[in-house]
Amino acid sequence: MPSDQLSATHFVAPVKNTEITVDAVRIDAKPSNLWRDAWRDIRSRPTFWVTAVVVFVIVLMAVWPTLFTQVPPNNNCLLANSNGGPTSGHPLGFTFQGCDIWSRLVWGARTSLMVGFLATLIGTVIGVVMGALAGFYGGWLDSVLSRLGDIFFAIPYILAAIVVMSVFSQNRTPLVLAFAIGGFAWASTARVIRAEVLRVRQADFVTASRAIGLSRFRTLLTHVMPNAMAPVIVVATLTLGAAISAEATLSFLGVGLGSSTMSWGLDISQAQSSLRVAPMALIYPSIALTVTVLAFIILGELLRDALDPKARARR
């Protein structure tokens, strides 16, 4: 078309289709919602499958250790094998005490995961309840709960757990340890969910459900909480990694689990005395610990990307 026709004269595009539909509904499109979209997004990433396999294997070790090793981890330790190298049936060699390293690694996964999961569960439940109540009801309740959260935030939870475990020195079970870690690690979860609840609370659908006649508490449960949960899952995966390493740290320091339990932290602690002669006894449990913590943290990062539509658009 000639260029001078544009601004000066009247230009009309050829009419393509005679009928102009306004705001037509597309019902042929694939059904989608937040969780479905997130799953679609996350399953297309290779990193997800690598970490998923790692996590699956570690969980399998924890649930069913005999699948991986027939050697008992604690009995049959022969001092003759002390710091021995790999032999057939004992692929990673022996500890100072003459115990099979591979077997101890496999059996140690259970303790690590159990403490990790329990501590995360405890921390997340406390954090979600505190944060949701503070964010939704506001006012003096918010002030009290938020200051309480600040106090717990200010206490390093490793330090707090050391104190608690010293008090319970006669009863160092995984459950007690999980409470010691989880009971002091909820403050960041509470902060995250409080901010989310504050955001969701503003939405018109919350006001609309109040106008229907829903009570405040039911509105919180049915509309606000489900919409505030996505970041909690992300924080929980990150907390899981931190709790596992906290267990190892406490056990290493000798205030974690009793020496009769199997734990990567304990193994690292016991191996340090013979580090120069037999470094592998320290290196293997350290690798196991690192891989596990890393897997959960990467999983958390992936979930964060998948659950945040804005991050997805940027990719």
Interface residue with another protein, options 75, 88, 169, 313 (CB under 8 A): 313
**Segment interacting with another protein (CB under 8 A) among 83-91, 98-106, 184-192, 202-210:** 202-210
Comparing CB distances to another protein, the nearer of 71 and 193 is 193
Residue 307's contacts (CB-CB under 8 Å, 6 or more residues apart) are 34, 38, 230, 231, 233, 234
Q: Does 88 bind another protein (CB under 8 A)?
A: no
Q: Does 140 bind another protein (CB under 8 A)?
A: no
Q: Residue 116: CA atoms inside 13 Å, Cβ hemisphere, count?
A: 28
**What distance, in Å, lies between the first and last C-alpha atoms of the chain?**
39
Least distance in Å: CB of 38 to another protein? Answer: 12
Q: How many Å is the Cα radius of gyration of the chain? A: 27
DSSP classification of residue 155 = S
Phi, psi of 226 (to 5 degrees): -55, -35
Interface residue with another protein, options 207, 259, 272, 290 (CB under 8 A): 207
Interface residue with another protein, options 29, 75, 139, 140 (CB under 8 A): 29
Element (H, E) at 43: none
Q: Does 227 bind another protein (CB under 8 A)?
A: yes
Q: Does 46 bind another protein (CB under 8 A)?
A: no
Q: Which of 239, 229, 236 is nearest to 181 (CA)?
A: 239
Comparing CB distances to another protein, the nearer of 29 and 80 is 29
Q: Is the dihedral of CA 204, 210, 213, 217 positive or negative?
A: positive
Comparing CB distances to another protein, the nearer of 1 and 80 is 1
Interface residue with another protein, options 8, 75, 140, 169 (CB under 8 A): 8
Determine the Cα–Cα distance for residues 246 and 305; give it in Å rounded to an integer.
Answer: 26
Q: Does 214 bind another protein (CB under 8 A)?
A: yes
Total site size for another protein, rule CB under 8 A = 44
Interface residue with another protein, options 141, 203, 277, 294 (CB under 8 A): 203
Please report where in the chains the tokens 């699948």 appear, as a residue: 67
What b/e string do you get for 185-209 counting C-beta neighbours within 10 Å, with b at 16 or more?
A: bbbbbbbbbbebbbebbeeeebeeb
Q: Does 212 bind another protein (CB under 8 A)?
A: yes
- Residue 160's Cβ-count burial label (10 Å; 0-12, 13-18, 19+) is middle
Q: Give the total residue count for the chain.
A: 315
Least distance in Å: CB of 120 to another protein? Answer: 23
Q: Does 209 bind another protein (CB under 8 A)?
A: yes
Q: Does 90 bind another protein (CB under 8 A)?
A: no
Q: Does 261 bind another protein (CB under 8 A)?
A: no
Comparing CB distances to another protein, the nearer of 25 and 154 is 25
**Segment interacting with another protein (CB under 8 A) among 4-12, 69-77, 83-91, 243-251:** 4-12
Q: Does 80 bind another protein (CB under 8 A)?
A: no
Q: Which of 169, 113, 123 is nearest to 296 (CA)?
A: 113
Residues that bind another protein (CB under 8 A): 1, 3-13, 15, 18, 20, 22-23, 25-27, 29, 31-34, 37, 202-205, 207-214, 223, 226-227, 313-315
